Amino acid sequence: QPSFTEDFRELLSFADRVSKLEVWANADTPEDAERARGFGAKGIGLCRTEHMFMQADRLPVMQEMVASTDRDERLEALGKLKVMQKEDFVGIFKAMEGLPVTVRLLDPPLHEFLPKVPEMTERLEELIAQGKGDSPEACKIRVLIQRAESLKEANPMLGFRGCRLGIIYPEIYEMQVEAIFEAVVELMRQGVEVYPDIMMPLVGTYEEMRRLREMVDRMAQRFEAELGRKIPYMVGTMIEVPRAALIAGDLAKEAEFFSFGTNDLTQTTFGYSRDDAEGKFLAEYVRMHILGDNPFHVLDRSGVGRLLEIAVSEGRAQREDIQIGICGEHGGNPKSIAFCHRLGLKYVSCSPFRVPVARLAAAHAAMGLID
Ligand code: PEP
Ligand code: MG
């Protein structure tokens, strides 16, 4: 828990009374969620579920699942992953009792989750040197290398990512939604107040949104029947490719909330690779940028802000009470927070450690002290 002085606590609660924007946090673990709540977050705006599989004991299962071409094999790995995720969801929902938790379904750029070919090749050579080139382990490694090679993409950040994966392999997203609802039902039975919001990544077409929403509603009905009452869930989408902003009115037919993923939206609006924006050449170019501000930090005048305006007005025209927030890195930047205030968003979601600064910035924006 943060050790704020009484004066600082008082200042932050004054800031909250003045602000029109709520401050939520991005958190992927129960510990992060607790920390976020301690810093005053009023919800979780982004739980990146792919991050739940990066730990050393979980990554190999995830790698096998992603590289698998066999449905049964994939289902077996998914079963293991589901148990791990459910435990994490229980912890996060408990830490955020009474507040909304936005869980984003898997968005794994493939290169981060494919088995690593150099490591596997090294292991295979070791086995061959030991005369175990035909062992079951060696055979399995050969298959994995072949699959990893065949799934390699030239531009993984623009490749088989986000909801594209969930559309092609529905069982992956179904496993996750099941894990979410199992956790919710368990906690609701214990009297814990849970508000799960399920969010789709990288949506760019109405059909993606419609299919995925239908899947969640179908699963929810099953769990509601088991529980004997309604689950207070919502289904929504990230707005993180320009097309999603442009067709926000259509998406709002199926989505009860939008969350701006301005990291991808900036990348795709400018055509700057987000992974290289801090690198030598692009960083220098971005610094000399004619707009003055780094567009990965500041929305104003970047054109990305214009896409947010379009999405907000299209979304609200279709669904008046649609909930709209932001969960990209911009959500922790004071100038961008002022922009979000002017757009009338419900919340900004940022890293737990930025929550206090974001609370102050939201108040400054409401008082007209930042423009
Ligand atoms: C984003 O794109 O802004 C976002 C929040 O998602 P991620 O950073 O996980 O791609
Ligand atoms: Mg994104």
Amino acid occupying residue 263: N
CA proximity to 187, closest of 236, 217, 232, 225: 232
Ligand nearest to the CA of 50: 1
ipTM surpassing 0.95, yes or no?
yes
Taking the CA of residue 261 as reference, the ligand 1 atom at the shortest distance is: 3
Of 46, 47, 111, 297, the residue with max ligand 1 atoms within 8 A of its CB, to mutate for a pocket test, comes to 46
- Whole-number pLDDT of residue 109: 85
Query: Cα–Cα distance between 71 and 122 in angstroms, integer?
Result: 28
- Whole-number pLDDT of residue 275: 85
- What mean pLDDT value characterizes the chain? 93
Evaluate: CB of 178 within 6 angstroms of ligand 1.
no
Of 107, 238, 265, 340, the residue with max ligand 1 atoms within 8 A of its CB, to mutate for a pocket test, comes to 238
Amino acid occupying residue 327: C
- The rounded Å distance from CA 145 to ligand 1 centre is 29
Burial label for 20, CB within 10 Å (0-12, 13-18, 19+), is middle
- Whole-number pLDDT of residue 64: 85
Near ion ligand 2, which residues have CB within 5 Å? 240, 261, 264
- Whole-number pLDDT of residue 112: 84
- The rounded Å distance from CA 261 to ligand 2 centre is 5
Of 107, 111, 240, 260, the residue with max ligand 1 atoms within 8 A of its CB, to mutate for a pocket test, comes to 240
What are the C-alpha distances in Å from 53 to residues 64, 166, 278? 12, 16, 25
- The rounded Å distance from CA 212 to ligand 2 centre is 17
Structure tokens at 181: 């609802």
What are the C-alpha distances in Å from 123 to residues 77, 238, 365? 22, 40, 56
Reported pTM: 0.94
Evaluate: CB of 240 within 6 angstroms of ligand 1.
yes
- Distant-in-sequence, close-in-space partners of 46: CB < 8 Å, separation ≥ 6: 26, 27, 102, 104, 199, 259, 327, 349
CA count, 13 A, side-chain hemisphere, 49: 29
- Whole-number pLDDT of residue 57: 87
Please check if 123 is assigned to a binding site: no
Q: How many residues does the chain have?
A: 371
Which stretches of the chain score pLDDT less than 70?
1, 288-291
Taking the CA of residue 201 as reference, the ligand 1 atom at the shortest distance is: 6
Evaluate: CB of 332 within 6 angstroms of ligand 1.
no
- The rounded Å distance from CA 263 to ligand 2 centre is 6
- Whole-number pLDDT of residue 18: 96
Identify whether the C-beta of residue 199 lies closer than 8 Å to the C-beta of residue 103. Answer: yes
CA proximity to 368, closest of 326, 338, 330, 333: 338
Burial label for 222, CB within 10 Å (0-12, 13-18, 19+), is exposed
According to the 3-state scheme, what is the secondary structure of the chain?
A: CCCCCHHHHHHHHHHHHHCCCEEEEECCCHHHHHHHHHCCCCCEEEEEHHHHHCCCCCHHHHHHHHHCCCHHHHHHHHHHHHHHHHHHHHHHHHHCCCCEEEEECCCCCHHHHCCCHHHHHHHHHHHHHCCCCCCHHHHHHHHHHHHHHHCCCCCHHHCCCCHHHHHHCHHHHHHHHHHHHHHHHHHHHCCCCCEEEEEECCCCCHHHHHHHHHHHHHHHHHHHHHHCCCCCCEEEEEECCHHHHHCHHHHHHHCCEEEECHHHHHHHHHCCCCCCCCCHHHHHHHHCCCCCCCCCCCCCCCCHHHHHHHHHHHHHHHCCCCEEEECCHHHHCHHHHHHHHHHCCCEEEECHHHHHHHHHHHHHHHCCCCC
Query: Cα–Cα distance between 266 and 268 in angstroms, integer?
Result: 5
Identify whether the C-beta of residue 178 lies closer than 8 Å to the C-beta of residue 184. Answer: no
- The rounded Å distance from CA 264 to ligand 2 centre is 5
- Whole-number pLDDT of residue 291: 67
In this structure, the residue with its CA closest to atom 8 of ligand 1 is 263
Query: Cα–Cα distance between 299 and 245 in angstroms, integer?
Result: 15
Query: Cα–Cα distance between 9 and 15 in angstroms, integer?
Result: 10
- Whole-number pLDDT of residue 113: 86
- Whole-number pLDDT of residue 280: 73
Identify whether the C-beta of residue 239 lies closer than 8 Å to the C-beta of residue 245. Answer: yes
